A and B are shown apart, each in its own frame.
Chain A
């Protein structure tokens, strides 16, 4: 299977993972996996059957001044408490089900109002970038929060590469849609209109805080966190940070977004973290930090999730109760 791990490996990791596979997975699983490899059956098969952490590989990333110095949430919680409805609506469903998602090979199509539209193989997309560690606060619209050490690079680097036209005002994003790999998609009562789509204004997308993440805690992204590549926009509610991106389209008109389509009164296009604008059904004034036990104390939610100094000017003169 190691053979199957393609260029991304060689490109991003100057050295092999310091942890042997046998140390991170149960011995019987390891041995079975080894049999498969030795049997030289389809490499893809063994890749699909191996547990998730065996797939994780270390990433080299430089620290960033844009990181918070707050204590990151435990990896266990970041990878077991997820909203990724394609794999089920329960918080632990994605961790249970997302292993079925094939993330290799992966291509991202960047098109629309650009001079150089392209379909990038993920390896090619990552070739010219320098990965950084960005420790960001994440505030979910449901009223909980985490601190996550992402590994990624500014979204603007990809946008600049395709050269947006002057008419481009918005950026639309789309998550992969593979019903055969996604147990939460389908049924006669779909929770959302698939595929999951999101959008940003072009100036928001060009902001240095907006990143495309390919890892967390120094390793490649687990599937339940949006592998292999996802958006992270830390001053907006978590659902804006779309996972497992296959398409980025530059547009003149504001693109539709999934939760806004599902309930326009509750979820706006902007969805900036704002303690003063409540969700119609619950308050956004406070948040519960994840992973601090039964007696965790709610803490006040900050305007723009605490990134106001950097991003407030993007919304100067806008009525944020109207553009929520």
Chain B
């Protein structure tokens, strides 16, 4: 028995290798919905309004990965399950989906009609909010590597808090794009609101605790 456990131990990949394998798997799984929906689009299986469906699917997956990214910290605090090492991957998947969503809007929907797109950004609140969210995600994605984390130090943490604004803008973007008040955008908005409220609550409690000490 002892002997067999030893062998198993030797065969088990080191934590670093295991992490890399799991991260690669997460990327593969993460990109699968995009591959699938583009496949359906190019083979004309997305129904009557394929452009709208493609945009919506990519947009909703952006929100899902954003929510997954924002769930990592509360999950660790509340249950002890730590997915902290995969948070960067989830955040980058969010960014890549946002980029695909935007590219679909620019290239397929509006065919690079820059005049119309510029007018949209200025005049259409839902586009304005979407663009704001994407604009925030760009510097966050660019600084998502070990080198930048080291170089920016505490600035990095502050910079990456902007994701809260990006999440709010993305949720509002979804609410504004539809007529009336259907359920899905409200549900996504509520989930994001809860995740942000959790952080705000923690922040306020911490400040209250710190204040008497400072006095």
Contacts and interface: CB of A to CB of B under 8 A. Distances in A.
B199 interface: no
Nearest to B104: A294
Contacts of A81: 47-49
B120 A294 contact: no
Which of A80, A142, A288, A294 has the most C-beta atoms of chain B within 10 angstroms of its own C-beta?
Answer: A294
B108 interface: yes
B124 A282 contact: yes
A294 B50 contact: yes
A144 B50 CA distance: 12
Contacts of A76: 48
Contacts of A281: 124-126, 176-177
B65 to A, nearest CB: 23
B116 A283 contact: yes
A85 B180 contact: yes
Contacts of B124: 281-283
B212 interface: no
Interface in A79-113: 80-81, 85, 89, 91-92
A191 interface: yes
Contacts, number: 70
Interface stretch (B38-46, B72-80, B149-157, B200-208): B38-46
A6 to B, nearest CB: 33
B183 interface: yes
A93 to B, nearest CB: 10
Interface in B94-128: 108-111, 116, 119-120, 123-126
B182 interface: yes
User: Is the contact region of chain A dominated by helix, strand, or loop, or is it mixed?
Assistant: loop
A69 B109 CA distance: 26
B180 A288 contact: no
Given A282-B124, A294-B41, A294-B42, A191 B181 contact: yes
B117 to A, nearest CB: 11
A77 interface: yes
Interface in A266-308: 278, 281-283, 285-286, 288, 290-291, 293-298
The bracket for how many chain B residues form the interface is 20 to 34
A289 to B, nearest CB: 10
Contacts of A191: 180-182
A296 B119 CA distance: 21
A283 B181 contact: no
B54 A297 contact: no
A142 B51 contact: no
A310 interface: no
Contact of B123 (A77, A92, A283): A283
Nearest to A77: B48
B52 interface: yes
A262 interface: yes
Contacts of B111: 297-298
Contact of A293 (B50, B119, B180, B181): B50
Given A81-B49, A293-B50, A283 B180 contact: no
Nearest to A293: B44
Contacts of B176: 281
Interface of A: 76-77, 80-81, 85, 89, 91-92, 141-142, 144, 189, 191-192, 259, 262-263, 278, 281-283, 285-286, 288, 290-291, 293-298
10 contacts: A80-B48, A89-B183, A91-B48, A191-B180, A263-B180, A283-B119, A286-B116, A288-B51, A294-B42, A294-B51
Given A191-B181, A283-B123, A295-B108, 17 more contacts: A76-B48, A80-B48, A89-B178, A89-B180, A89-B183, A91-B48, A281-B125, A283-B119, A286-B116, A288-B49, A288-B51, A288-B109, A294-B42, A294-B44, A294-B50, A298-B109, A298-B111
The 6 A-B residue pairs with the shortest CB-CB distance, nearest first, are A81-B48, A77-B48, A89-B182, A191-B180, A294-B50, A294-B41
Interface of B: 41-42, 44, 46-52, 54, 108-111, 116, 119-120, 123-126, 176-183, 186
